[in-house]
Amino acid sequence: MERQLQSCWFLCTVCRSQAALDDFKEGLNVVGLLPHMVAMPEAFKPLFCTAPQPLTRSQLRNLFVVQWSEVGTNFREQEEDTVYAWEQFLLAIEGMTSLFC
């Protein structure tokens, strides 16, 4: 049974994602990073293996840049409503550790 579980785990985690991993490696190779990552894996480890940190309110706000429409248009009014709702949402979740609590 233990061997079957290991085989199932390997299939689900490694084999199913192999194509995505190959594409990722190919992309790194195209931009010339793969040889450096293979030669110095410890230098790149913090980029891929850090502990997750919750996003702060300012980090969430900075994910988006508003491209406003012309003042006085219906689009601008809708954009202002959306940005207001976004700011209210950010205020509401500030200090929360999870959106699902």
Closest residue by Cα to residue 60 from 101, 93, 98, 100: 93
- In a domain? residue 72: yes
Q: pLDDT for 43-74, tens place per residue? A: 888 888 877 777 788 888 888 889 999 999 99
Please state, for a pLDDT cut of 90, what percent of the chain lies above it.
Answer: 41
Range of the domain at 87: 57-93
State whether 14 and 41 are in the same domain. Answer: yes
State whether 11 and 39 are in the same domain. Answer: yes
- In a domain? residue 27: yes
State whether 44 and 76 are in the same domain. Answer: no
Contact 33, 39 (CB under 8 A): no
State whether 88 and 64 are in the same domain. Answer: yes
Tally of domains in the chain: 2
State whether 33 and 61 are in the same domain. Answer: no
* Residue 96 or residue 7, greater confidence: 7
Distance CA 24, CA 40 (A): 18
CA-to-CA separations, 6 to 13, 14, 37, 78, in angstroms, rounded: 10, 11, 29, 53
- In a domain? residue 100: no
State whether 31 and 64 are in the same domain. Answer: no
CA atoms within 13 A on the CB side of 89: 9
Contact 37, 28 (CB under 8 A): yes
Q: What is the pLDDT of residue 100?
A: 55
pTM above 0.75, yes or no: no
State whether 64 and 40 are in the same domain. Answer: no
